[in-house]
Structure 1
Amino acid sequence: MKFGLYSEMQLHPGKTDQQLYDEVLKQIIHADQVGFDVYSLIDHHHFSRFSVSANPLAVYTAAAQLAKNIRFRTALHILPQQNPLRLAGEIAVADILTQGRIEVGVGRGHAWVFPNNGIVPIEEAKPRFEEALQILEMALTEERVTYYGQYYTAEDVQITPRPVQQKMQFTTGGTSNHTYQQAGEKGWGIFVPPLLPLESLREQFDIYLRACDKAGNEPNIIWLHAVYMDECEDNIRRESEQHFHNFLAGNASPAFTGLPDKERMMNAGYQFYAKGILQSLADMSYEQITTGDVVWAGTPEQICEKIDYCVRNIEGLAEIDFLTNYGGMDHWKVIKQQEIISKKIMPQFKTKSKVATY
């Protein structure tokens, strides 16, 4: 079992952009020191309460100067709004500066990104994603790219520099059946959305596993969950409750201001966003989110039981990624969680730490 950390870099009152970035860099360096395998940042723009993580690759190249073993994964590069040829070069530079530790996450993006960005209509999200993906895959494996599509054209374009890794590890994530089908067919890792309970994802897991089996690929399910632990249960609620509420409100905030109408979302393949699930998150009580498996809060022993349940009930589970920095979390609390995970959780499920090579 691999263990990682994931952050949306939510900016809440009381912190500046500079302070948050400084803290995240320190947290990555600490994560490397205590043995985490991978650190992931979202790639997100335009909504500070949701995320100010506008350039994950820059963060990774800065952190890699002192964090010498941990791998770095973006969750996810929003391909419909990227120039894939340019993105390939940026990924290659980051791979060089991190000595071959970059993993590539790709996705269509949240439904609210499209009307607020004003560059790509939401109806073009899926077809643009598919074309950009083909180009990106070629650009990371071939020195020159020729491609003629509806949205992108490239004729014998040289891709430079070249990444250190000859074959990049790809990951995706989301809620649509198509995402899980594609990930299984291509042999990609799949991020599980961090706010959904296990039982709500059975259909998607089955789709992914069947696609992996048919294509002869090894499943690689990555379970994401926000967590807060302490030996004293009173400390858990006192230290985490407001941050959990901030976290959920931050995830829901764009849905109140930036979503297209339901019919457009349904037609564009964003059915999840048309259901109103995100908007309901902000109104949930502490008891609802902790007992409903939206977040994990408990003693290390209780969290080990939750992980053991996931291990026994999710075929293909290969990695647990914790959110420890969410909702304006104090830096000392983040470090506290990383310490507990490394000392109380990881040894129970991980017999050895191994840095992957490709």
Structure 2
Amino acid sequence: MRFSIYSEMQHWPGKSAERLYAEVTEQVINADRRGYSTYSIIEHLFFPKFSSSPDPLAFFAQLAPRTKQINFRTLLHVLPFHNPTMLASRIAEAEILLDGRYEFGVGRGHGWIPPKAGVRLGDVRELYDESLELFFKALEQERFSHQGRFYSVDDSHIYPPPPQRKMRIFVGGTSDYTYEMAGRKGYAVAVPPLLPYKALEAQLNIYRESASKHGNEPDIVWIHACYMDQDREVAKRDAEQGMRNFLVGNASPLEERASDDALQAAGYGFYTSGIMEELAATPYEEMIAGDIVWVGTPADVIERIEETIGVCPG
């Protein structure tokens, strides 16, 4: 088992962007010193209370010469908002600049992003599927061509050349489609933070069944908000405001979401379910008791980890 750190780089009023990036940089350097396996950040646009991380590759590039062994992971590159051949080229470059320490995921992105990026909600699923196909052609083949609705490419290639090693690739999200596709293609999945196992049990079962059907091994990364202290009451006291802000920040973009009908028609029904708003309104003690966040002593958190391993094979 390997332990890593995941950050959404939430940005709240009262702190400059410069200070935020400096603090997260310090976190990564310290995580490297302490032997953590990986530092993960998301790629996210427009809503700083959720995340201020529009370009993870640029952020990681300045960290490579300041760290020794920690891996860098983007969870996830939001493919519908990239030219897939350009993103493949940037990842090939990152493979060199980051000394082979880069891992990444790809996904559709949250349902509140397309309207702000000028992409029609109704196009996102088809655009994502086509972008995914073209992206992996560019990243894995010396020469490639593609004909589709959104992109037309004739005998192209990227430079630097495609990476020689097999990179660990992730997908994430909440839709059945995403988990079936991940199992079929042999990708790892990253479980979204804040959701207890029961909330995604059905999707993870779809993933395992799809992986088994296609001869792949499940590869699940579990993300959970966690805070520890040797004194349980101190841990609960010190973590409270941060945990409350984390949940409120995650739900904040919903204030500017598209209509429920439009989201459901585009396959973004999760954002109409009310789950994120309910999580943000959860009393603090219920967050802990309900397995939404892990706060307590090291022994408390070890118990939660062991419980998760017991119910979540892979």
TM-score, structure 2 normalization: 0.97
1:194 shift after superposition: 0.5
Distance 1:210 1:35 in 2: 34
**Match of 1:250, as an amino acid?**
G
Indicate whether 1:194 and 2:193 are aligned: yes
For 1:170-181, list aligned pairs within 5 A.
170-181=169-180
1:274 shift after superposition: 1.3
Deviation string, structure 1 residues 108-135 (Cα, Å, up to 9, x no partner)? 01000011222x1111111111111111
Distance 2:212 2:309 in 1: 19
For 1:298-337, list aligned pairs within 5 A.
298-316=296-314
% same residue: 45
For 1:212-291, list aligned pairs within 5 A.
212-257=211-256, 259-291=257-289
Distance 1:148 1:35 in 2: 45
Deviation string, structure 1 residues 241-271 (Cα, Å, up to 9, x no partner)? 11111111100100012x1111111111111
Q: Which residue of 2 aligns with 1:21?
A: 21
Query: Are the aligned partners of 2:263 and 2:271 in contact in 1 as well (CA < 8 Å)?
Result: yes
1:191 shift after superposition: 0.7
Distance 2:235 2:162 in 1: 43
Query: Are the aligned partners of 2:142 and 2:162 in contact in 1 as well (CA < 8 Å)?
Result: no
Distance 1:145 1:77 in 2: 21
SS of 1:301's equivalent in the other structure is helix
For structure 1, list consecutive stretches of 5 or more residues without a partner in the other structure.
317-358
Deviation string, structure 1 residues 205-226 (Cα, Å, up to 9, x no partner)? 1101101111111110111000
**Match of 1:308, as an amino acid?**
E
1:163 shift after superposition: 4.7
1:167 shift after superposition: 2.3
Structure showing greater relative contact order (alpha-carbon pairs closer than 8 Å, 6 or more residues apart): 1
Query: Are the aligned partners of 2:144 and 2:155 in contact in 1 as well (CA < 8 Å)?
Result: yes
1:164 shift after superposition: 4.2
Query: Are the aligned partners of 1:95 and 1:165 in contact in 2 as well (CA < 8 Å)?
Result: no
Task: Give the direction of change, closer, same or farther, for the CA distance of 1:163–1:144 in structure 2 (3 Å limit).
Answer: closer
Query: Are the aligned partners of 1:225 and 1:295 in contact in 2 as well (CA < 8 Å)?
Result: yes
Q: Which residue of 2 aligns with 1:66?
A: 66
Distance 1:81 1:283 in 2: 31
SS of 2:155's equivalent in the other structure is strand
Aligned length: 314
1:283 shift after superposition: 1.7
Distance 2:169 2:236 in 1: 37
More deviation, 91-100/296-305: 91-100
SS of 1:290's equivalent in the other structure is helix
For structure 2, list consecutive stretches of 5 or more residues without a partner in the other structure.
none
SS of 2:18's equivalent in the other structure is helix
Distance 1:140 1:71 in 2: 20
For 1:69-108, list aligned pairs within 5 A.
69-108=69-108
Q: Which residue of 2 aligns with 1:141?
A: 140
Query: Are the aligned partners of 1:96 and 1:163 in contact in 2 as well (CA < 8 Å)?
Result: no
Distance 2:13 2:157 in 1: 45
TM-score, structure 1 normalization: 0.85
More deviation, 12-21/214-223: 12-21
1:158 shift after superposition: 2.3
Distance 1:90 1:4 in 2: 24
Distance 2:89 2:47 in 1: 27
1:237 shift after superposition: 2.3
Deviation string, structure 1 residues 153-200 (Cα, Å, up to 9, x no partner)? 111122111254432221011110111101101111101111111122
Deviation string, structure 1 residues 262-299 (Cα, Å, up to 9, x no partner)? 11111111111111211223222111211111111010
Query: Are the aligned partners of 2:38 and 2:73 in contact in 1 as well (CA < 8 Å)?
Result: yes
Distance 1:58 1:200 in 2: 34
Q: Which residue of 2 aligns with 1:205?
A: 204
Deviation string, structure 1 residues 45-71 (Cα, Å, up to 9, x no partner)? 101111101110111111111212111
Distance 1:124 1:12 in 2: 32
Distance 2:310 2:236 in 1: 28
Q: Which residue of 2 aligns with 1:344?
A: none
SS of 1:264's equivalent in the other structure is helix
SS of 1:234's equivalent in the other structure is helix
1:149 shift after superposition: 0.4
Distance 2:279 2:228 in 1: 22
Deviation string, structure 1 residues 312-353 (Cα, Å, up to 9, x no partner)? 11111xxxxxxxxxxxxxxxxxxxxxxxxxxxxxxxxxxxxx
Distance 2:24 2:235 in 1: 22
SS of 1:238's equivalent in the other structure is helix
Question: What is the root-mean-square deviation in Å for CA atoms of aligned residues?
Answer: 1.2
Q: Which residue of 1 aligns with 2:126?
A: 127
